[in-house]
Amino acid sequence: MTILDIKTAGNPVLRQVAAKVTKIDKRIKRLLSDMADTMYKADGVGLAAPQIGVSVRIVVIDVGDGILEMINPEIISKEGSCINVEGCLSVPNFDGEVERAKSVKVKYQDRNGKPIVLNTTDILAIAVQHELDHLDGILFIDKANSLMPKE
């Protein structure tokens, strides 16, 4: 179990477009495991590799249904609209209202390189959109309609 340092707003790695993973090897699998450990330790529901200083297209998410590991994820369709309050491990002092699609279809590879297409809705769809934004250098505060200090 390795807990990694979570980068916060102002760190330039959070504004970079992350590189595509070209080879899934032991290093990438270890990164997935370490990211999950870090996310759980920080009591988060998602974590993107740039948030721990590694600019590659990897995210981990757990909204209560078990860990979802995504390598090179890409949203292929969106439907509907909803506004929810979001927070972020990289912006620890604020929450904000963000409008996002209510459902998304995402394609990605799992830790074994298997291609997956997943239809998501509600909280999982929001988490997917939030984490994939990190891979393009976008923070939720860039999209928030309003920001509120955490109490």
Total-model pTM = 0.97
Homologous superfamily (CATH) of 12-149 is Peptide deformylase (3.90.45.10)
CA distance 14 to 6: 10
CA distance 77 to 105: 5
What residues contact 45, with CB distance under 8 A and at least 6 apart? 39, 61, 62, 63, 64, 123, 127
Over the chain, what is the mean pLDDT?
97
- Segment 132-145, tens digit of pLDDT: 999 999 999 999 99
- Segment 55-84, tens digit of pLDDT: 999 999 999 999 999 999 999 999 999 999
- What's the whole-number mean pLDDT along residues 71-99? 97
Which residues are known to be catalytic? 131
What residues contact 97, with CB distance under 8 A and at least 6 apart? 83, 84, 85, 86, 144, 145, 146
